[in-house]
């Protein structure tokens, strides 16, 4: 008896390709995606996951230059000091602090390191009185400040040990009494040796010890660090801090919107087909185009309502700043575009699938993969560069980028119209997706039309 039941189950599974895909293919695809994401962070392919950081040297001294060079040799960092040369500008000027800040705020780079004017004068003050190096950062990325801070400490000790020794001896002089002339001569002898050794072995030392140095509490105070939120204005201390809730509200909303639309817009069409009402409706004066548009419109409204509910909840319970005119306008534009595209996506899935069971399996596979790649599940900033590019081929990637531009990478000083122009690429792509999805659905829906 048991053998018969096993055989029946096996035959059913073997002939259900969607179930086979969900059981055996989806886990492997997901494992591969996550392996690429996390393997790329700390595995052998560290090159691909190096953090791109803008460095602004306002000090323009030998010390600051040595630290920047040391940072540049860090495998975990990719230092950028100026825009890429173009045909018109073969030697572009280095970034200023404000330019760097704008780029970080817009999400182009996760952080910028600014060596302040006068940095070298106070460098090596073991009492913690050194002029702080600013790390302008995007708070959506919680790992970037501690990482850069640690690497700065490592860079300080390996790039300028001679200076540190000298400053240390001065402290020693002040606290423990003056050195004898012999001792002082010995210190002066060691300084160039230390410096020479460092220059020769800089890359090796830093690459090998960067992680250790950053994690050592003994070294954490060599370079004072001042984290600066890229989205917060310098001259307005009352600027409302940005809430990370926006980031997650967008990610979760978009993923669940896709699931709702697949089962709603897609499921309803297939349900009509299975129930026979589709045949009956098509036998009236209604054409296929009108039928599809009716379904698309209804589920677009549903999607809009769903996203509004999610963000209002986030605003009421988690203090998301939704009500400012800038946020509200951007939110409305993005929500309409996202819901319309998601509804069209559900309809195209329905026209591809032959039954609701098939739709359930196919939509689960497609949506989970798009959500993983597009950033709904894992923030994209921790993904390797090539996976970030892959996200541009997903619905989630564009929808999330748009919401993040509205709530996260905004510039409160720009006019409202400019803020809207800022999200035009995302709105445009989502609108194009809507047109393509609906066009494809119309073509595939021919199977429901006259035989």
Partner 1 sequence: MRDAHKNFGQTCALAGANIELHDREWLGLLGPNGAGKTTLVRAMSGRVRLDRGVITLMGLQSDATSAGADGRTGLGTVPQEIALYPLLTAAENLRAFGSLQGLARRELHDRVAWALSWTGLSERSNEPIGRFSGGMKRRLNIACSVLHRPRVILLDEPTVGVDPQSRHRIWEMLRELRKDGASLLLTTHQLDEAQDVCDRIVIIDHGKTIAAGTLSELLHETIGAERQVTLSLDRPVPELLCQRGFSRKGGNVAQRQVTDLATELPIMLAEVKKTGAAVNDIRIETPTLQTVFLHLTGRELRE
Question: Which stretches of the chain bind partner 1, using CB under 8 A?
Answer: 275-277, 279-286, 449-451
d(CA 178, CA 187): 13
Q: Token pair for residue 163?
A: 């200076």
Q: Token pair for residue 118?
A: 């006068």
Q: If residue 277 lies in a helix (H) or strand (E), which one and from where to where? A: helix 277-282
DSSP label of 217 = G
Phi and psi, residue 54, nearest 5°: -85, 135
Q: Which among 311, 310, 305, 339 has a CA at the least distance from the CA of 327? A: 311
CB of 284 to partner 1, least distance (A): 4
Length of the chain: 451
- Per DSSP, the residues of 290-344 read HHHHHHHHHHHHHHHHHHHHHHHHHHHHH-----SHHHHHHHHHHHHHHHHHHHH
**Using an 8 Å Cβ cutoff, are 249 and 316 in contact?**
no
d(CA 305, CA 239): 30
Checking DSSP bridges between strand 111-115 and strand 133-137, what pairing results, if any? antiparallel
Q: Token pair for residue 128?
A: 């913690």
Q: What SS3 class is residue 78?
A: strand
Checking DSSP bridges between strand 77-80 and strand 51-57, what pairing results, if any? parallel
Q: Token pair for residue 100?
A: 């760097």
Q: If residue 128 lies in a helix (H) or strand (E), which one and from where to where? A: none
d(CA 141, CA 66): 27
Residue 53's region, left for phi above 0, alpha for psi from -120 to 50, else beta, is: beta
CB neighbours of residue 419 within 10 Å: 19
Q: What SS3 class is residue 235?
A: coil
Q: Token pair for residue 83?
A: 């825009």
């Amino acid at each position: 008896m048991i053998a018969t039941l096993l055989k029946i189950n096996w035959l059913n599974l073997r002939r259900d390709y969607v179930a086979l895909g969900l059981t055996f293919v989806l886990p492997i695809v997901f494992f591969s995606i996550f392996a690429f994401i996390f393997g790329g962070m700390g595995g052998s392919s560290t090159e691909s996951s190096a953090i791109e950081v803008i460095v602004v040297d306002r000090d323009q001294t030998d010390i600051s230059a040595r630290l920047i060079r040391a940072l540049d040799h860090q495998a975990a960092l990719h230092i950028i000091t100026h825009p890429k040369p173009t045909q018109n500008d073969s030697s572009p000027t280095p970034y200023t602090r404000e330019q760097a800040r704008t780029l970080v705020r817009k999400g182009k780079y996760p952080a910028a390191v600014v060596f302040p004017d006068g940095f070298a004068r106070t460098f090596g003050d073991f009492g913690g009185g050194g002029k702080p190096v600013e790390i302008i950062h995007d708070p959506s990325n919680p790992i970037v400040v501690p990482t850069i801070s640690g690497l700065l400490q490592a860079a300080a000790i390996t790039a300028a040990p001679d200076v540190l020794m000298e400053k240390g001896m001065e402290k020693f002089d002040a606290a423990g009494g003056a050195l004898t002339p012999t001792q002082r001569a010995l210190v002066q002898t060691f300084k160039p040796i230390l410096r020479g050794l460092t220059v020769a072995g800089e890359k090796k030392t830093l690459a090998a010890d960067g992680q250790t140095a950053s994690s050592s509490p003994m070294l954490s105070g060599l370079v004072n660090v001042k984290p600066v939120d890229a989205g917060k204005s310098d001259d307005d201390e009352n600027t409302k801090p940005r809430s990370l809730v926006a980031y997650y509200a967008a990610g979760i909303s978009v993923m669940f919107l896709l699931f709702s639309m697949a089962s709603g817009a897609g499921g309803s069409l297939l349900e009509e087909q299975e129930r026979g009402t589709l045949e009956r409706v098509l036998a009236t004066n209604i054409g296929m185009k009108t039928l599809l548009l009716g379904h698309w419109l209804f589920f677009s409204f549903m999607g809009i309502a769903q996203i509004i509910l999610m963000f209002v909840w986030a605003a009421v319970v988690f203090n998301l700043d939704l009500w400012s005119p800038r946020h509200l306008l951007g939110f409305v534009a993005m929500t309409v575009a996202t819901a319309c595209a998601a509804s069209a996506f559900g309809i195209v899935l329905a026209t591809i699938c032959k039954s609701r069971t098939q739709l359930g399996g196919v939509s689960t596979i497609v949506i989970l993969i798009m959500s993983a790649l597009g950033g709904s599940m894992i923030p994209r900033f921790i993904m390797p560069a090539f996976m970030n590019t892959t996200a541009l081929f997903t619905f989630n990637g564009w929808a999330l980028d748009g919401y993040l531009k509205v709530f996260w990478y905004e510039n409160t000083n720009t006019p409202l119209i400019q803020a809207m122009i800022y999200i035009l690429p995302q709105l445009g792509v989502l609108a194009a997706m809507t047109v393509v999805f609906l066009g494809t659905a119309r073509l595939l829906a021919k199977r429901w039309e006259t035989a």
